[in-house]
Amino acid sequence: MTVRLRIVPVVLVALILLALVVAPAFAAEAPIPKNDPTSTQLVEKPKEYNGKTVTFAGEAIGEVMVRGDYAWIHLNDDAYMELNVEEGAKLGGYNSGMAVWIPSPLTKQIDTYGDYKHEGSIAQISGTFNAACKEHGGDMDIHATTLTMIRTGHVVDDPVPPWKAALAAMLVLAAAGLFWFDRATRNRIAPHRGV
Amino acid sequence: MIVRPRLEDHLVIGKYTGKVVIGVGLLMLIPLAVSIGFAEWDTAIDFIVAIMACFAFGFGLQVVCRTQKDLSWSHGLVVASGSWFFATALGALPHFLSGHAGSYLDTLFDVMSGYTTTGLYLLQDLDHVSMGLSMWRHLLTYAGGQGIVVIALTFLFKGTAGAYKVYVGEGKDERLLPNVIQTARAIWLVSLTWLVIGTVFLGVRGMTLGQGPVRAFFHGLWVFMGAWSTGGFAPQSYNTFWFHDLGYEVICIVIMIAGSFNFALHWAMWTGNRKEIRRNVETISFFVTLSLTTMVATFFLAKANVYPDAMSLARKVFYQLASGHTTTGFSTIYARAFVTQWGPIGLIATTVAMAIGASACSTGGGIKGIRMGVISKALVQDVRRMISPESAVIMEKYHHIRDTWLTDGLVRGAMTVTIAYVTLYGVGTVIGTLYGYPLEQAAFEMVSAASNTGLSCGVTSPFMPEVMKVTFTLGMWLGRLEFMSVFALIGYGYAVVRGR
- Give B129-169 pLDDT, tens digit per residue: 999 999 999 999 998 887 666 655 555 555 455 555 565 55
Question: pLDDT tens across B263-311, in order?
Answer: 888 888 888 888 899 999 999 999 999 999 999 999 999 999 999 999 9
Chain B contact for A184, CB < 8 A?
no
| CA distance to partner chain B, nearest, from residue A110 (Å) | 16
A residues 102-141 lying closer than 8 A (beta carbon) to B = 114-117, 119, 131-134, 136-141
pLDDT score recorded for residue B176: 62
Find which of A49, A91, A110 to mutate to test the B interface (most B CBs within 10 Å of its CB): A91
- Among B175-179, B198-202, B320-324, the range scoring the smallest mean pLDDT is B175-179
| Contact criterion met (CB < 8 Å) for A44 and B102 | no
pLDDT score recorded for residue B376: 92
A79/B145 Cα distance (integer angstroms): 33
| Contact criterion met (CB < 8 Å) for B125 and A165 | no
**Mean pLDDT, range B215-236, rounded to an integer:** 96
On the question of pLDDT at B207 being above 90, the answer is yes
| CA distance to partner chain A, nearest, from residue B66 (Å) | 6
Average pLDDT of chain B to the nearest whole number: 89
> CA of B332: how far to CAs of A182, B316, B455, B496, in Å?
50, 7, 11, 48
- Residues in chain A closer than 8 A to B67 (CB atoms): 189, 193-194
| CA distance to partner chain B, nearest, from residue A168 (Å) | 5
**Mean pLDDT, range B378-395, rounded to an integer:** 90
- Residues in chain B closer than 8 A to A182 (CB atoms): 59, 62-63
pLDDT score recorded for residue A192: 47
Q: Give 10-residue mean pLDDT values along chain A (195 residues).
A: 62 67 55 93 97 97 97 97 91 97 97 97 98 97 98 93 96 96 76 43
pLDDT score recorded for residue B165: 58
pLDDT score recorded for residue B120: 97
Q: Is A75 left (phi over 0), alpha (psi -120 to 50) or beta?
A: beta
Q: How confident is the model at residue B202 (pLDDT cuts 50, 70, 90)?
A: very high
Question: Percent of chain B scored above 90 by pLDDT?
Answer: 65
- Residues in chain B closer than 8 A to A63 (CB atoms): 210-212, 215
pLDDT score recorded for residue B401: 84
| Contact criterion met (CB < 8 Å) for A137 and B312 | yes
| Contact criterion met (CB < 8 Å) for A164 and B52 | no
- Residues whose CB falls within 8 Å of the CB of residue B3, separated by 6 or more in sequence, listed in order: B495, B499, B500
On the question of pLDDT at B418 being above 80, the answer is yes
Where are the domains positioned within chain A? 39-155, 162-195
Chain B contact for A174, CB < 8 A?
yes
pLDDT score recorded for residue B348: 96
- Residues in chain A closer than 8 A to B336 (CB atoms): 43-44
B398/B405 Cα distance (integer angstroms): 7
- Among A161-165, B337-341, B484-488, the range scoring the smallest mean pLDDT is B484-488
- Residues whose CB falls within 8 Å of the CB of residue B63, separated by 6 or more in sequence, listed in order: A178, A181, A182, A185
B330/B320 Cα distance (integer angstroms): 7
Q: How confident is the model at residue B375 (pLDDT cuts 50, 70, 90)?
A: very high
| Contact criterion met (CB < 8 Å) for A131 and B341 | yes
On the question of pLDDT at B254 being above 80, the answer is yes
pLDDT score recorded for residue B126: 97
Per CATH, the number for A39-155 is: 2.40.50.140
Q: Which of A132, A138, A142 is nearest to A73 (CA)?
A: A142
Q: What's this model's pTM, rounded to 2 decimal places?
A: 0.89
